Amino acid sequence: MDRLSTVANGLTSAQVAGAKPNHVPRRSSRSLSAIVRANVFTLFNLVIGVLWALVLIFGEWQDSLFGLVIVANVLIGIVQELRAKRTLDKLAVINEAPVRVRRDGEERLVQPRQLVLGDLILLGPGDRLLVDGEVVESDGLEVDESLLTGEADPVHKQPGDGVLSGSFAVAGAGAFVATRVSTDAYAVKLAEEASKFHLAHSELREGVANFIKYITWLVIPIGALLIYSQLKHSADFGTAITGAVAGIVTMIPEGLVLMTSIAFAVGVVRLGRRKCLVQELPAIEGLARVDVLCLDKTGTLTAGGMDLDQVLPLRDDHPIEDALAALAHLDHSPNATAQAIRARYQGARDGWTAGETVPFSSARKWSGADFGERGAWVLGAPDVLLDGGDAYDQAAGLAATGARVLVLGRARTLPAPQANGTRIKADGADIEASRADVEAGGADVAAGGADVEAVALVTLKQRVRPDAHETLRYFAKQGVTVKVISGDNPTAVSAIATGLEIPDAHRSIDARDLPYDDEAKLGELLDSHTVFGRVSPQQKRQFVTALQARGHTVAMTGDGVNDVLALKDADLGIAMGAGSPATKAVAQVVLLDDKFATLPHVVGEGRRVLANIERVSNLFLTKTFYAIVLSLLVGVAGIMFPFAPRHSTLTNALTIGVPALFLALAPTFERSKPGFVRRVLRFAVPAGILCAAAVLLSFWAAHSGTSTLVEDQTSAVITLFLTTWWVLVLIARPLNWWRIALVASMAAAFAIGLTIPFVRHFFALEPGDLSDDLTAVGISIVAAVMISVAVKVAGTLRT
């Protein structure tokens, strides 16, 4: 009796209080302890901490300033990531769709974390299953388990069947009792086995990690050689240690990881202010690489709702309005079409009681019910339910105006539901379709020998988003190709796309006529056409794969359950906030306020992050390579290192640290291209080698005279600043007013520092020998010219 009561009425409040809750860790961000560990316990921090201690013990405290930079890096990194974490967690809560449950005999909405073991959970199309359970009610319930099993066909569920978390309802309605919740649920177990905190593929992150790895292996032997050389050729142990430390510290790109983290974190926060949830941080990188944007018409180009426009009778001897009202009120979770019809016909008519029903699904593109003595009725796409004739032609003419057109039909018997978008012939012939034809959505299938007689045409007005036109113009200017992919009639989709001035929108294709098993041919058609109609959910997935095979980086937007598979496979899945829970669960980016106009900001933010990280990577790795070359030459030659740690702290702050902070957050419209690592190396290696050569030449020229060691080091520091400052100028291009002000202020700060006695004394600078200093300037000018030529030849300058 308890089980029967639970099935009928759900749990009582007392049972809910004592049941196991559905506590699942969010995947949008890592924990506080993980953030602290990631920023504090790094190999570089360990190396620099040891070097810092050595300088404090054996050298002067002014030479230990580099240690404070590391402390600042750690604090800034933790604060920025915590800021991003708070933004992500707040938006994740907003994004969590409430779950319909029945408790104490009443239907309620609860948050996912408020579900408990034994809850009676209600399902409708688009609802995501968050826990495992057993079906107890089914009204044509179909569940898509492809994200778990890989099987594309929806599974019909009957009472007693099991359901797994991670799947989603695609048609019909039903209810199930939760049998496994929290970390016992199937999908949660899979996620935990994979990773508690998973990041999507990121060329940028992997590139930076590879830089760090290789530099680590270089620092160890070169640092050992440098220490040996300085100890062997220096009479002063403290001077030897500080010289060695100066070379080793300069080799470490300690700020590169920080700047990458800051850029990602600031990007998340900026997008969060626009009610855009980035569920995986590296998704920001994907935004920058997108060159093809696949748009689902409904919910993206058009607003989610529709209005019933006309009901055009084709026969006068049928109860058209009664049949429409009855069909629209069958579904407990009505879609936009049913809602529009319900708005005009407020309730089902008396005597219209349905027996057998076939719920609507985006794959079938029709729904129907058998009303006993009143007959079997179907409502759906004319090109699926009809096979030519006057009604078919009239529907095509209406669709050409951009209206959404449905046909209301009368059948001898209710057609049997097919898995995918199939045409139902009215000639009564039984045709067995091949699996390939069915999956392509192009087969002619006689559903149980049913005749479908067109009784009326129904037109619905779709609301084009007011911001769609400007948004599409932005993508055209940015070189992003738009593909409109819809389950609707291709003529209607083409009319709307043409009105929005999408290039080549007049050339539409019916997806049922596309090749199913020839990916190369499919890719060619996708490249040459813009509008695709009558696309099945499985085909949307195929489209994404075919475009990726042709070298495109594909973003997919959608809001319906039919978009889930394509969103999952796209390089970047973007879900609308008003979309189904299933789409929001698999997408990397969710537009919570449902504004299509947010997309340009999303793409722009991704481009800003990647382009600017590449700029600052050039800065930091130029420093690393000149330090490696200097350390090698000094170690082999057995001479003093040309500057002390405090000197590198000063020059690095003015030519790398401060400018990098501004450049990493600057606006930019450059579309990122693959090959991040290769481009950075082609810039940093020649620039670093030439900087090192110029510094060593200035130090040698000054050292060969009668000047002191501090004066010789001052000449080297002048050359080091001027050459790295010129590298900054090249990287900051194209120069606008604020970038000119930035590089000019860095030069002015260095010049002022040389004139103020306190600053000169603090940083151990003595520009006393005019001839040596002028020689250093001359060498710097020659080196700057050579750097410009070298990087231009390498093809890395931005124009």
- Residues belonging to the active site: 296
Cα–Cα distance measured from residue 410 to residue 418, given in angstroms and rounded to the nearest whole number: 18
Cα–Cα distance measured from residue 649 to residue 753, given in angstroms and rounded to the nearest whole number: 13
CA distances from 136 to 16, 106, 119, 123, 141 (A): 19, 17, 12, 11, 11
Measured at the CA of 286, the angle between CA 284 and CA 289, to 5 degrees, comes to 120
Ramachandran bin of 510, using left for φ above 0, alpha for ψ from -120 to 50, beta for the remaining angles: beta
Ramachandran bin of 136, using left for φ above 0, alpha for ψ from -120 to 50, beta for the remaining angles: alpha
> What is the identity of the amino acid at 342?
R
How long is the chain? 799
| Helices 32-40 + 65-95 axis angle, to 10 | 150
Cα–Cα distance measured from residue 44 to residue 649, given in angstroms and rounded to the nearest whole number: 17
Q: 770 exposed, middle or buried (CB, 10 Å; 0-12, 13-18, 19+)?
A: exposed
Rg (CA), the chain: 33
Tokens of 434: 């091949």
Cα–Cα distance measured from residue 22 to residue 116, given in angstroms and rounded to the nearest whole number: 6
| Parallel/antiparallel/unpaired status of strands 481-485 and 531-533 | parallel
What is the greatest pairwise CA distance in the chain?
115
Q: Which of 367, 405, 363 is nearest to 540 (CA)?
A: 363
Cα–Cα distance measured from residue 751 to residue 481, given in angstroms and rounded to the nearest whole number: 49
Residue with token string 């001052």: 714
